[in-house]
Structure 1
Amino acid sequence: MADSAARRVRPTPQQLAAAQAKTIPDVLGPDLRVLFCGINPGLWSAAIGKHFANPGNRFWPALHASGFTPRLLGPWQQEELLDLGLGLSNVASRASARADELGPEELRIGGEILAGKVAQYRPRWVAILGIGAYRTAFGRKDATIGPQPVKIADSKLWVLPNPSGLNAHWTAATLAAEFAKLRAAADEG
């Protein structure tokens, strides 16, 4: 299927139901400036096999508005992130309709698995997209949005707001502003 035709694919209700508990591959490589880690794949993402694929998710617009990408990319261009020194993963690998369907133990185990990936690939920064998931997965109950005083392996750590459209506490502008703070730190080294 051509890329432009693939972008118009909308999963059917049956495909979304079948995506429950599926996983999607990470976008990882050496020498990453930032590894962005979602909480877990949503059903839309799992159905089409691409990160942050639901049209209501604000990850791709925030990434562009913050200056991480020179143009607005979408899930179908996710592999282009590697050329920009960016990667994608998740704290928990199992897809669900909502992140709150994950239990604390699943997040803690996912955090351990993610730490192993970080130790292997050694990105300069790891950005966890979701404060609640970070607090649970890594046992940091008092963590706030922004840079963290701890590292994952040897990688610096930043917590960003969850870009899901369900996270109404953050507007597109405030979300992009938080991403921009991380970009500025990543540009410094």
Structure 2
Amino acid sequence: MTPDELNAARDRLLPDVVTGGLRVLFCGINPGLLSAATGHHFARPGNRFWPVLHLSGFTPRRLAPAEQEELLTYRLGITNVVARATARADELTAEEFREGGRILTAKVELLRPQWLAVVGVTAYRTAFGDRKAQIGPQDRTIGSTRIWALPNPSGLNAHWTAETMAQEYARLRAAAESAAGDGFPATS
């Protein structure tokens, strides 16, 4: 993909991968330019979302971004706090995050997933006005939907390795499994 093609994707909106009855709705910060250009969430090669999803046991194999619709068969989905594509998340304003939090709340009220998993605790803090939130389950709910803040899988998040991220994602998977009474597919 050329720099011009990537730049043309700036401000584009990326459709959600959602349906009713989701166990976990993963929520990114906002789409990057490659995601907006390809139409696939977490498309940047250095992003660890897809490997971590597999390592944590949510999917039986590592999916490619182009296979994102397959998540629905595992009752998983993807959305974003802010729909607008940018080269970097720091291009977003605090007001965009707060408005994104309002839109996300309405989306969750409509879809009613078991869990909302925000991948980026800073994005969660800003979108929901909870400056002290930490990684893990949150006290806040949206209706009956529980919320979990997860580490951001971006390659820029050097504080977390794929393995340590997978451990945290697996904690969410275990919580979702115990609440549902049935498991996600076993990893192979």
Name the CA distance, whole Å, in 1 between partners of 2:20 and 2:7: 35
Q: Deviations over 1:58-92 (max 9, x none)?
A: 00000000000001101111000001000000000
Q: How many aligned residue pairs are there?
A: 179
SS in 1 for 2:165: helix
- Give the alignment partner of residue 82 of structure 2, picking from 92, 103, 111: 92
1:149 equivalent to 2:135? Answer: no
Name the CA distance, whole Å, in 2 between partners of 1:173 and 1:100: 26
Name the CA distance, whole Å, in 1 between partners of 2:157 and 2:142: 25
Contact 1:115 1:153 in 2 (8 A): no
Equivalent AA in structure 2 for residue 156 of structure 1? R
Equivalent AA in structure 2 for residue 39 of structure 1? I
Equivalent AA in structure 2 for residue 47 of structure 1? A
Per the alignment, residue 40 of structure 2 pairs with: 50
Runs of 5+ unmatched residues, structure 2: 180-188
Per the alignment, residue 160 of structure 2 pairs with: 170
Per the alignment, residue 20 of structure 1 pairs with: 10
Name the CA distance, whole Å, in 1 between partners of 2:109 and 2:144: 7
Q: Deviations over 1:91-115 (max 9, x none)?
A: 0000111111111000000111011
Per the alignment, residue 183 of structure 2 pairs with: none
SS in 2 for 1:88: strand
Aligned-pair identity in percent equals 62
Per the alignment, residue 138 of structure 1 pairs with: 128
Deviation at 1:161, TM superposition (A): 0.6
Name the CA distance, whole Å, in 2 between partners of 1:122 and 1:149: 17
Per the alignment, residue 158 of structure 1 pairs with: 148
Per the alignment, residue 6 of structure 1 pairs with: none
Q: Deviations over 1:129-185 (max 9, x none)?
A: 001111000000000000001112320000001100011111111111111110000
Contact 1:21 1:95 in 2 (8 A): yes
TM-score under structure 2 length normalisation: 0.94
Equivalent AA in structure 2 for residue 45 of structure 1? S
Per the alignment, residue 28 of structure 2 pairs with: 38
Name the CA distance, whole Å, in 2 between partners of 1:165 and 1:178: 17
Name the CA distance, whole Å, in 1 between partners of 2:78 and 2:8: 23
Task: Indicate the RMSD between aligned Cα atoms, in angstroms.
Answer: 0.6
SS in 2 for 1:14: helix
Runs of 5+ unmatched residues, structure 1: 1-10
